Amino acid sequence: MSLIVQKYGGTSVGSLELIQRVAARVAAVRERGDDIVVVVSAMGDATDRLLDLARGICPEPAPRELDALLATGEQVSVALLAMALEARGVKARSFTGAQVRIVTSPVHTRARIHRIETDRLRAALREGIVPVVAGFQGVDADGNITTIGRGGSDTTAVALAVALGADECQILTDVDGVYTTDPRMVPEARRLDRLSFEEMLELAGQGSRVLHLRCVEFAAKYNVPLRVASSFATGPGTLICKEERRVEAPVVSGIAFNRDEAQITVTNLPNEPLAIHRLLEPVSAASIEIDMIALTGNREGLTDLSFTVHRDDYPKALRLVRAAAAVFEGSTVSGDERVAKLAVVGVGMRSHAGVATRLFEALAAEGAAVRLVSTSEIKISVLIPEEQLEACVKRLHAAFGLDRPPESVALPIP
Amino acid sequence: MSLIVQKYGGTSVGSLELIQRVAARVAAVRERGDDIVVVVSAMGDATDRLLDLARGICPEPAPRELDALLATGEQVSVALLAMALEARGVKARSFTGAQVRIVTSPVHTRARIHRIETDRLRAALREGIVPVVAGFQGVDADGNITTIGRGGSDTTAVALAVALGADECQILTDVDGVYTTDPRMVPEARRLDRLSFEEMLELAGQGSRVLHLRCVEFAAKYNVPLRVASSFATGPGTLICKEERRVEAPVVSGIAFNRDEAQITVTNLPNEPLAIHRLLEPVSAASIEIDMIALTGNREGLTDLSFTVHRDDYPKALRLVRAAAAVFEGSTVSGDERVAKLAVVGVGMRSHAGVATRLFEALAAEGAAVRLVSTSEIKISVLIPEEQLEACVKRLHAAFGLDRPPESVALPIP
């Protein structure tokens, strides 16, 4: 007998009919004899409708009251799902964040979970009752209702799985797993059966929108196996777990990309840390996030610095860097806002040489103008002109054999 | 400096614009220097919409989950009103029933309030914060969300006023007070400035739908002055309080009526309690409520019994009485479902003789066929044919001088 935490997102509980389908699915887990705790988000666009109400009162509503308002969205879904389960003869009980006591920091609209009291949930499980827990919300030490930010229901689910020592945390959503790359761009993209936490973090960080970074970090930290699967179909999805569990790790697991990049390059800077600091400091002070960064060349004490920012921040960042560079005689500042980032990710890189060679070979065959390179242990990222992105992703997907299934066995969803 | 509890019903907070108007009104109380606790219902038809969702899941939703679902209606209103107050610079904080700790019996959909913890509310008041409390809901000793039945927000307001020792509990609604009789029937009907709890109970019990019986009983028991006034206009409304507070009590305060009556009469019954019991017992066993009841005549050990039931219950009650009367030889059973009840109410009756005389004089002048009479200390009720109701109410309204203002001073709303 396993203990499973299942999380259903807003699109999976977007109508009464869908809630009935979720109930049927939860009932099937019970029939199999497993224990289950269900976490749900607000129905469909309920949160947006509540936000509209709040903004109808004032442009910047009091955060404490905004949290109290938004928390009703999940309270509606948990009550309806518990009703649907009871109507099918499955014992169930809804819980708000306050009722569980998901205790968070006393910060509104983006609280952090401090601890979860599991007494009431464990008592329900012992009685054969399915606890249906409101995602996204908690309560601070003074009993004020808090929310943990958008996408927070995933984090609630992982945190509950950790607190209860669950065997698996399943995120049921509108995609059927994590893919080798975006299937909308590459039709040959394959669903991955398994992936390590680190790979998932690199993929998520690069803009694969399946799971929130924070929830993957949480699962990795406490080593809770995480499964992403479809709430509409019955596939095994993708299991994200510790690296050791993999039978055979492929060299490259997936290709991530991000179009919203812009590059700024400064040439002929004094090659000393203080100069770099003086150049980048105003950008950071303006809360502009710097992503890739590379120093190139070192001739006669001079160097070139190149980095990327989000395309929306580009005009401001360029202005700030121009002003900061003015003090360095002979320096030049240039920029390009039509660039894209592409990254190959895989824990297999650690033990396999030649990934970079194969990467550049493929990029060269595509005639890609590589503008910036940065590497981590399990990832190589390159910046290329945006118009070359699609062709490069497709060529790399084939070059690393991602369109062929690996020789591992797909495990049935527990 | 007074402490006021104000309650706004669903129609008073039915839109964002109306919520802003309520906020302005609450702000005015604060500007005057008074402390205030606000109780609100769910917006407009929010409760009905939530009920529709629940019934979409199953015809008889689990009561615990229904309460969790319905409680979101008031949580939305309190959050929005607190936001609107904060946006105007009035410090405010929303409270659910669970956050206040309005502790109720562990019964769903019709719980009773056991106690109210006032620590958090008092702390807020000390800090100059307006607590905005969700009506209609509470929490049982185990932390389950409960609701106290339809119209329960009035009860929440009175209970809070009692618990906090408030100077007055104001029910702001869509009527501007309690009238001498229904103004839709008698255009000369006047708003009453003051009324005793007992008079209000008699009027409410007779179908004046301004306040729920339960909330008036509660206010009377703990002697909290209750004011009914319009949430859309600024009039003094009607103050309902202990009798002693009245400067000069009129003989009759108001006339109540109820069209939904039906009369059943049994003649030639043995004049003994057991016979009456055997006749009425099957009616009560069928959960049919018996309202007026009168025994008339006593000739040779025989008596006539007449009573009224709600018109909807009439066919069933008549059938049951016919069956029960069959054992009493010589008895006859007859009925009439086109009757209406009319009652004159007033604490002044206690000290003024001749009310009954004046009543029957007026009814006789109207040619009314009085079918049944019953009396209490402050009320005389008569049953008459329904088609004579309107004319009788109008004549009595004039006969008791209810269309002329009494010589008392209207007090400004505190």
3-state class (DSSP) for residue A168: strand
B128 within domain boundaries: yes
Instruction: Calculate how close chain B gets to A162, using CA atoms only, in Å.
Output: 24
A205 within domain boundaries: no
Q: Tell me the residue type at A239.
A: L
Number of domains in chain A: 2
User: Helices A119-126 and A152-164 meet at what angle, rounded to 10?
Assistant: 70
Give me the residues of B, 27-86, that contact A with CB < 8 A: 50, 53-54, 56-58, 61-62, 64-66, 68-69, 71-72, 75-76, 78-80, 82-84, 86
Contacts of B99 in chain A (CB under 8 A): 143-145
Cβ contact, residue pair B68, A94, below 8 Å: yes
Instruction: Calculate how close chain A gets to B21, using CA atoms only, in Å.
Output: 11
Q: List, for residues B301-340, the tens digit of each pLDDT value.
A: 788 889 999 999 999 999 999 999 999 998 999 999 999 9
Instruction: Calculate how close chain B gets to A150, using CA atoms only, in Å.
Output: 19
Q: List, for residues B85-119, the tens digit of each pLDDT value.
A: 999 999 999 999 999 999 999 999 989 999 999 99
Which residue of chain B has the CA closest to A91?
Answer: B62
Residue ending a domain, choose from A127, A146, A173: A173
State the pLDDT at residue B411.
Answer: 39
**Which of A20, A38, A66, A72 would you mutate first to test chain B, the one with the most B CBs within 10 A?**
A72
Q: Is A146 on the interface with B (CB under 8 A)?
A: no
State the pLDDT at residue A292.
Answer: 87
Provide ipTM, 2 decimals: 0.79
B190 within domain boundaries: no
Which residue of chain B has the CA closest to A17?
Answer: B57
- A135 with A272, same domain: the answer is no
Instruction: Calculate how close chain A gets to B71, using CA atoms only, in Å.
Output: 9
Cβ burial B25-55 (10 Å sphere, 16+ → b, else e): bbbebbeeeebbbbbbbbbbebbeebbebbe
Of A63, A41, A75, nearest in space to A111 by CA = A63
B403 within domain boundaries: no
Q: Ramachandran region of residue A397, left (φ > 0), alpha (ψ -120 to 50) or beta?
A: alpha
Residue B2 has phi, psi (to 5 degrees) of -100, 160
Percent with pLDDT over 90 in chain B: 62
State the pLDDT at residue A363.
Answer: 92
Cβ contact, residue pair A69, B50, below 8 Å: no
Q: Is B143 on the interface with A (CB under 8 A)?
A: yes
Cβ contact, residue pair B76, A50, below 8 Å: yes
Domain of A260, CATH number, reads 3.30.2130.10
A412 within domain boundaries: no
Residues paired with residue B86 on neighbouring β-strands, in sequence order: none
B130 within domain boundaries: yes
**Which of B26, B76, B120 would you mutate first to test chain A, the one with the most A CBs within 10 A?**
B76
Going by pLDDT thresholds of 50, 70 and 90, the confidence category of residue B414 is very low
Instruction: Calculate how close chain A gets to B161, using CA atoms only, in Å.
Output: 23
Residues of chain A with pLDDT under 50: 245-246, 408-414
Domain span holding position A332:
255-399
Instruction: Calculate how close chain A gets to B94, using CA atoms only, in Å.
Output: 7
In the numeric block, which tokens belong to residue B292? 């007026």
Contacts of A64 in chain B (CB under 8 A): 82, 93-94
- A165 with A286, same domain: the answer is no
- A47 with A140, same domain: the answer is yes
Within 10 Å of residue A323's Cβ, how many Cβ atoms?
12
Q: H or E stretch including A279?
A: helix A273-285
Instruction: Calculate how close chain B gets to A399, using CA atoms only, in Å.
Output: 51
Using CB atoms, which residue from B20, B54, B79 is nearest to A69? B79
Which residue of chain B has the CA closest to A50?
Answer: B76
Going by pLDDT thresholds of 50, 70 and 90, the confidence category of residue B150 is low
- A259 with A150, same domain: the answer is no
Residue A117 has phi, psi (to 5 degrees) of -85, 125
pLDDT score of B17 more than 50: yes
Cβ contact, residue pair A83, B93, below 8 Å: no
Please count the CA atoms within 13 angstroms of the CA of B334 that sit on its side-chain side.
Answer: 7
Cβ–Cβ under 8 Å, residues B9 and B173: yes
Cβ contact, residue pair B98, A98, below 8 Å: yes
- A166 with A272, same domain: the answer is no
Residue ending a domain, choose from A173, A207, A241: A173
Using CB atoms, which residue from B61, B75, B99 is nearest to A72? B75
Cβ contact, residue pair B86, A62, below 8 Å: yes
Radius of gyration of chain B from its Cα atoms, rounded to whole angstroms? 24
Which residue of chain A has the CA closest to B145?
Answer: A99
State the pLDDT at residue B208.
Answer: 55
- A15 with A163, same domain: the answer is yes
Instruction: Calculate how close chain B gets to A75, using CA atoms only, in Å.
Output: 7
pLDDT score of B409 more than 50: no
**Which of A19, A65, A142 would you mutate first to test chain B, the one with the most B CBs within 10 A?**
A65
Going by pLDDT thresholds of 50, 70 and 90, the confidence category of residue B244 is low
State the pLDDT at residue A294.
Answer: 82
Measured CA distances, A48 to A3, A43, A108, A328, B281 (Å): 33, 10, 17, 49, 57
CA pair distance A71, A369, nearest whole angstrom: 49
CA pair distance A255, B267, nearest whole angstrom: 94
Domain of B82, CATH number, reads 3.40.1160.10
In the numeric block, which tokens belong to residue A337? 């806002």
Q: List, for residues B52-70, the tens digit of each pLDDT value.
A: 999 999 999 999 999 999 9
Which residue of chain B has the CA closest to A62?
Answer: B83
CA pair distance A274, A276, nearest whole angstrom: 5
Cβ contact, residue pair A75, B58, below 8 Å: no
In the numeric block, which tokens belong to residue A159? 């945190």
Contacts of A93 in chain B (CB under 8 A): 64
Residue ending a domain, choose from A139, A173, A207: A173
Measured CA distances, A115 to A72, A123, A331, B86, B356 (Å): 22, 18, 52, 30, 71
Cβ contact, residue pair B69, A80, below 8 Å: yes
**Which of A40, A77, A80, A142 would you mutate first to test chain B, the one with the most B CBs within 10 A?**
A80
Which strands sit side by side in the sheet containing A145-147, from one edge to the other?
A: A113-116, A102-104, A137-139, A145-147
Q: Is A340 on the interface with B (CB under 8 A)?
A: no
CB-neighbour burial class of residue A35 (10 A; exposed 0-12, middle 13-18, buried 19+): buried
CB-neighbour burial class of residue B277 (10 A; exposed 0-12, middle 13-18, buried 19+): exposed
